[in-house]
Structure 1
Amino acid sequence: MAEWCAENLRDCQAWKAEGIQISTNSNEAARLFDALLRQYVSWSDCAQLGGMDQTLRIMLEAEPNAIMSRVISLGLEVMGTGRSIRLDKNYHNELNQLLNDATKYGTIYERNHAKAIHLFANDKMLAACEKWEKILNEIPNDLLALKFAHDAYFYLGNKQCIRDSIARILPKWKSTTPCYSYLYGMYAFGLEECEQYEEAKKYAKKGLELNRHDAWATHALAHCMEMNGCVEEGIHFMESTESDWNKCSLLACHNYWHTALYYIELQKYDDALSYYDREIGNRIKSGAMLDIVDASSILLRFEMEGISVGNRWKALLPIVKPHLHDHILAFNDAHIRMVIEGCDDNTIRKDHCDSIANFINDNSGDNNDRTRNFGKSICDAISSYYSGDYHKVVQTLAPIRHNVYSIGGSNAQVSLQHLQYNLPTYT
């Protein structure tokens, strides 16, 4: 499915012809940078190249000091939100070294990219987005800046920017440019998050007409059906196209999450649990934060419906424990707290509570502000829910219930906090 990721890859001269000034003289590094970027945008592993990990390894071997090779390598770590520069000295040093090297011998384009991921990793997320937008103002066809900004706005809960960052550049792209079709799915998701559902469906379908394997366009359409209550249509759509999107390993778990969510809304819990056991629960072995978020949030939804999930929480605990003190996103912390409460582990609960308090007191930055203003309260509400203190859930969430989107995530994901806020009404 993803073999196009290995075809007609751009060398040094081809990148420069497109206005993207990279300093490497290694055509092999330049081509593999292109291949890795295509896999990132398509959420897929190219079998011909051995997948993203293999592509990345060979790219770095081709020229270890190449600035853009390190930008995309470290940028993928940054956007994965699973490594903290406060806790990981090697990661911290690698980002600093990249910034220093880009300043010494990189192009202006490369310096801007190195600075952007350095800012994001240092919890200056808004400033990072400004850097990416600056790049796009000058080079609207820079797919890496576009994708990094798209993901960052999602983490910031900035729905208008998810939409508008794509809207600004879409008319400036040539349809022959690699990954052009993926812009439609990205734009569709931004439209959907801004509740422009008809427009979102139009652009998602256009993306799928150009490439039926576009898992993000599929995802945008799934969101439209979810938010409009078209759950039976959603089930048919996701299941009838499963073979198109399930090879996109970086997003498949999340698309299965959407499918299972439809079944929960129809109160077909056995079907939903089957998806968890067959797909979602198995895919958490990746250790990816997105997969952890999917697994934890859907288990909590089962329990809010009165469905026992047995020992399923316990499988998540060893995966989230290494991230207890990361505090990269308040959104991640909320889902880590779900796992802790699902396992009813008092020691880890206290550790996580204390760690969040220390993070708020000892640090500063965009996520620090979000954790202080919203994230800590959401974590506290999750704990209160599990202790059966629904009155406290309401007290805790009431002042922030219109701002929960600020911790990031989609409308469908943050709706969980609204469900918790309203649950006491029916209890």
Structure 2
Amino acid sequence: AWKAEGIQISTNSNEAARLFDALLRQYVSWSECAQLGGMDKTLSKMIEAEPNAIMSRVISLGLEAMGTGRSIRLDENYQNELKQLLDDACKHGTTYEKNHAKAINMFANDKILAACEEWEKILNETPNDLLALKFAHDAYFYLGDKQSLRDSIARVFPKWKSTTPCYSYLYGMYAFGLEECEQYDEAENYAKKGLELNKYDAWATHALAHCMEMNGRIEEGIHFMESTETDWNKCFLLACHNYWHIALYYIELGKYNEALLYYDREIGKRVKSATMLDIVDASSILLRFEMEGVSVGNRWKALLPIVKPHVNDHILAFNDAHIRMVIEGCSDSTIRKNHCDSIANYINNNYGDNNERTRNFGKSICDAITSYYNGDYHEVVQTLSPIRHNVYNIGGSNAQRDIFTQLLIHSALSSTKVSDYKLGKMILEERNMVKKNSSLSQRLLNKYS
């Protein structure tokens, strides 16, 4: 089937090829195939079928890389496996396999922009290569590159046949890129089309949830997400994040009990998976509660053992900011010092795309979170205000990064400096232009006026 699509895979095992397909489908659909025992079992059976197959190792190591929870600087086995893959691909692989091995090595070595170029070269030759498309889509998200998030799908969409397996998932992927570029009407149309073709597409659901969030259609968003819950919550890998969106809606409305219920029933339990996306969801929602004056009790403490293994990773500045939220939420001065020292050491002794973003933006955001918890609101303003229009460089979505805008607004309006207060009002107006009909903005205006 791969050869019929013009994709040159060198495996001799039909079983390995079949399981590769199954794993790729699970990755793209954010779901676990119960019949095959989920992604982990599918992956181990695939490797077992042909341990040295290049593309089996590409997807295996690629999924590790895209999970952003395993650092090549700290994990020698991971480093060796990636190097071995590249060596083997260069010696025995097809050009296609060699390019894939090269791209994954680049991504893991913090050459994220170069990895994206490599995936685009692959897609130029084989536009129907779903693996390259999904890897690039995820990487553009990590770079905060919304235009490429959109256009990487736009470039290949017309070249796909509607009969090609997984074709329907392109609608949700394209919809999310459109939404991040603030093309909400088009985004909504594509997301709805994706859901017409497959109502279980959690990423298309997610794109639609973003449109409603950014347009201030909060009640509609709650109804949509809750009425389709049994469709999208089957997609185990994205379910926590979609529940995060519902909790976000309720916080926007000031319905904190409902939001906390979703945290306790879903997000707080699912974060035990220890995936970075789930950690980001849990930490950012707790900080939002605290900024709204809601006590979260011991919920921060439950997150600390989950983030501790990642304190020295520094794979994405976006992750580091959320790790810092947990550290500050727990008021753990020892881990705070470790994290601060580790970031400084990482900046000074490494180089790469995330390294540069951490140096220019990530460290400042982490410092601002610490200053906020210390009650040093003027320092938060001094740190965050100059970079506020460039925070997108650390990755994530508009909805996710709104937490840094909220942090800045709260700090500016709480500061004793008149100039900070005036700036806070201005930034609140900026936010109102981006997030229409926001009850949260209105609450802030009422609170600080």
Report the TM-score, using the length of structure 2 for normalisation: 0.92
Q: Secondary structure at the match of 1:74?
A: helix
Q: 2:377, 2:412 within 8 Å by CA — same for their partners in 1?
A: no
Letter in 2 for 1:157: G
Q: C-alpha distance in 1, partners of 2:302/2:86?
A: 38
Aligned to 1:285: 272
The answer on 1:26 being equivalent to 2:13 is yes
Task: Give the alignment of 1:115-126 within 5 angstroms.
Answer: 115-126=102-113
Q: C-alpha distance in 2, partners of 1:22/1:108?
A: 10
Q: C-alpha distance in 1, partners of 2:409/2:13?
A: 58
| Runs of 5+ consecutive residues of structure 2 not aligned to the other structure | 415-449
Deviations 1:53-90 (A, max 9, x none): 11001000000000000000000000000000100000
Q: Secondary structure at the match of 2:12?
A: coil
Q: C-alpha distance in 2, partners of 1:320/1:193?
A: 28
Task: Give the alignment of 1:194-209 within 5 angstroms.
Answer: 194-209=181-196
Aligned to 1:308: 295
- Report deviation, 1:426: 3.3
> Among 88, 92, 96, which residue is 2:75 paired with?
88
- Report deviation, 1:421: 1.1
Aligned to 1:260: 247
> Among 18, 24, 33, which residue is 1:46 paired with?
33
The answer on 1:329 being equivalent to 2:330 is no
Aligned to 2:258: 271
- Report deviation, 1:229: 0.5
Q: C-alpha distance in 1, partners of 2:93/2:5?
A: 18
Q: 2:364, 2:384 within 8 Å by CA — same for their partners in 1?
A: yes
Q: C-alpha distance in 2, partners of 1:334/1:84?
A: 17
Aligned to 1:102: 89
- Report deviation, 1:308: 0.3
Aligned to 1:136: 123
Between the aligned residues of both structures, percent identity stands at 83
The answer on 1:399 being equivalent to 2:415 is no
Deviations 1:315-341 (A, max 9, x none): 100010000000000000000000000
Letter in 2 for 1:342: G
The answer on 1:69 being equivalent to 2:56 is yes
> Among 381, 386, 389, which residue is 2:373 paired with?
386
The answer on 1:220 being equivalent to 2:220 is no
Aligned to 1:10: none
Aligned to 1:111: 98
Q: 2:250, 2:259 within 8 Å by CA — same for their partners in 1?
A: yes
Q: Secondary structure at the match of 1:403?
A: helix
Letter in 2 for 1:359: Y
Aligned to 2:339: 352
The answer on 1:58 being equivalent to 2:49 is no
Aligned to 1:193: 180
Deviations 1:95-122 (A, max 9, x none): 0000000001000000000000000000
Letter in 1 for 2:10: S
Q: Secondary structure at the match of 1:280?
A: helix
The answer on 1:181 being equivalent to 2:168 is yes
Deviations 1:226-271 (A, max 9, x none): 0000110000000000000001010000000000000000000000
Q: 2:372, 2:411 within 8 Å by CA — same for their partners in 1?
A: no
Q: C-alpha distance in 2, partners of 1:424/1:416?
A: 12
Instruction: Give the 3 Å change call, closer, same or farther, for CA 356–425 of structure 1 in structure 2.
Output: closer
Q: C-alpha distance in 2, partners of 1:393/1:285?
A: 31
The answer on 1:243 being equivalent to 2:227 is no
Report the TM-score, using the length of structure 1 for normalisation: 0.97
Letter in 2 for 1:313: W
- Report deviation, 1:214: 0.2
Aligned to 1:156: 143
Letter in 1 for 2:157: L
Letter in 1 for 2:108: A
Q: C-alpha distance in 1, partners of 2:154/2:375?
A: 45
- Report deviation, 1:422: 1.1
Aligned to 2:409: 422
Deviations 1:137-180 (A, max 9, x none): 01000000000000000000000000000000001000011110
- Report deviation, 1:424: 3.0
Deviations 1:287-311 (A, max 9, x none): 1000000000000000000000000
| Runs of 5+ consecutive residues of structure 1 not aligned to the other structure | 1-13
Letter in 2 for 1:134: K
RMSD between aligned alpha carbons?
0.5
Aligned to 1:373: 360
Q: C-alpha distance in 2, partners of 1:242/1:77?
A: 28
Deviations 1:32-72 (A, max 9, x none): 00000000000000111111111001000000000000000
Q: C-alpha distance in 2, partners of 1:61/1:252?
A: 29
Q: C-alpha distance in 2, partners of 1:426/1:241?
A: 39
